[in-house]
Chains A and B, each alone.
Chain A
Amino acid sequence: MNKILFFGQLKERLGCANTQVELPYPSSVAQVKAKLQQRGGLWLQLLEQGTVLSAVNQTMASDDYVINTGDEIAFFPPVTGG
Chain B
Amino acid sequence: MISVQQKDFNVGDEYHALIQDARSEGAVVTFVGLVRDVNQGNSVKELTLEHYPGMTEKSLKSIVQQAKQRWDLGKVRVIHRVGQLALSDQIVFVGVTSRHREVAFEACQFIMDYLKNQAPFWKKESTEQGDKWVDFNDKDQQAMLRWQE
Q: Does B102 contact A (CB under 8 A)?
A: no
Contact of A81 with B49 in the complex, beta carbons under 8 Å: yes
Contact of B55 with A74 in the complex, beta carbons under 8 Å: yes
Most buried by A among B55, B112, B117: B55
Among B19-27, B66-74, B128-136, the stretch in contact with A = B128-136
Q: Which residues of A contact B122 (CB under 8 A)?
A: 7-9, 76-77, 79-81
Q: Does B99 contact A (CB under 8 A)?
A: no
Would you list which residues of chain A between 1 and 17 have a CB under 8 Å from chain B? 5, 7-9, 12
For this complex, into which size category does the number of interface residues on chain B fall?
A: 20 to 34
Q: Give the Cβ gap from B62 to chain A, nearest Cβ, in Å.
A: 8
Q: Does A42 contact B (CB under 8 A)?
A: no
Contact of A80 with B123 in the complex, beta carbons under 8 Å: yes
Q: Give the Cβ gap from B140 to chain A, nearest Cβ, in Å.
A: 8
A79 to B119, CA, bound (A): 7
A7 to B50, CA, bound (A): 8
Would you list which residues of chain B between 115 and 149 have a CB under 8 Å from chain A? 115-124, 133-137, 140
13 A–B contacts, CB within 8 A, in A order: A7-B50, A8-B122, A9-B133, A58-B55, A76-B122, A79-B118, A79-B119, A79-B120, A79-B121, A79-B136, A81-B92, A81-B121, A81-B122
Point out residues on A near B: beta carbons under 8 Å. 5, 7-9, 12, 55, 58-60, 74, 76-82
